[in-house]
Homo-oligomer: A and B are copies of this chain.
């Protein structure tokens, strides 16, 4: 089964490269991902969805995710059995 992850980012804020970096981090970590969608937006948006569920919102959290915690949240949604290595605290983001 493949999964869809989407990164919705604000172009006015110049977050493209940040979003692209996170995209390749996620793709390099999860071979469960079938589609990684980069979606340009406006108004300070920075959200990540995994299979339609929002796993990060900068407006709600008040900050960007560390890449490790973003991977945990995506993992919890698309590959809950996976362990992510030494920085992993499974279920922390659940």
A/B interface sample: 28 pairs, CB < 8 A: A11-B31, A16-B24, A16-B27, A16-B28, A17-B24, A20-B20, A20-B21, A20-B23, A20-B24, A20-B27, A23-B23, A23-B38, A24-B38, A27-B38, A27-B40, A31-B40, A33-B40, A34-B39, A34-B40, A35-B37, A35-B38, A35-B39, A36-B37, A36-B38, A36-B39, A37-B37, A37-B38, A38-B38
Q: How many angstroms between the C-alpha atoms of A47 and B35 in the bound complex?
A: 14
Q: How many angstroms between the C-alpha atoms of A17 and B27 in the bound complex?
A: 10
3 A-B pairs with least C-beta separation = A20-B24, A36-B38, A37-B37
Q: How many angstroms between the C-alpha atoms of A39 and B2 in the bound complex?
A: 11
Question: Which residues of A come within 8 Å of B, CB atoms?
Answer: 11, 16-17, 20-21, 23-24, 27-28, 31, 33-40
Q: How many angstroms between the C-alpha atoms of A17 and B25 in the bound complex?
A: 10
Closest residue of B by beta carbon distance from A24: B20
